[in-house]
């Protein structure tokens, strides 16, 4: 099991990215690699793990044209 992938998955869940969305991203190796690369680039630019995950979550919601508040109620 890749601990870094699991850590990123959990951090993105903390920022309300639905598990179904993350499952789809992480099930495709190319998509997961892009996500991990973006996360690592933010870390290299001086973001801490939480801020990087927050930025990535915003990008996911924007790219998929999703409303984060809509999923909060559905995921409970």
Span 33-58, pLDDT tens digits:
999 999 999 999 999 999 999 999 99
pTM of the model: 0.82
| 10 burial level (CB within 10 Å; 0-12, 13-18, 19+) | exposed
Higher pLDDT: 75 or 10? It is: 10
Say what percent of the chain tops pLDDT 90.
78
Encode 40-70: b = buried (16+ Cβ within 10 Å), e = exposed.
eebeeeebeeeebbbbbbeebbeeeeeeeee
């Amino acid at each position: 099991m890749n601990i870094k992938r699991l850590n990123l998955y959990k951090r993105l869940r903390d920022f309300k990215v639905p598990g179904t969305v993350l499952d789809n991203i992480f099930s495709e190796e190319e998509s997961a690699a892009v996500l991990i690369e973006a996360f690592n680039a933010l870390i290299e630019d001086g973001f801490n793990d939480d801020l990087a995950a927050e930025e990535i979550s915003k990008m996911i919601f924007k790219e998929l044209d999703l409303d984060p508040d809509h999923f909060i109620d559905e995921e409970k």
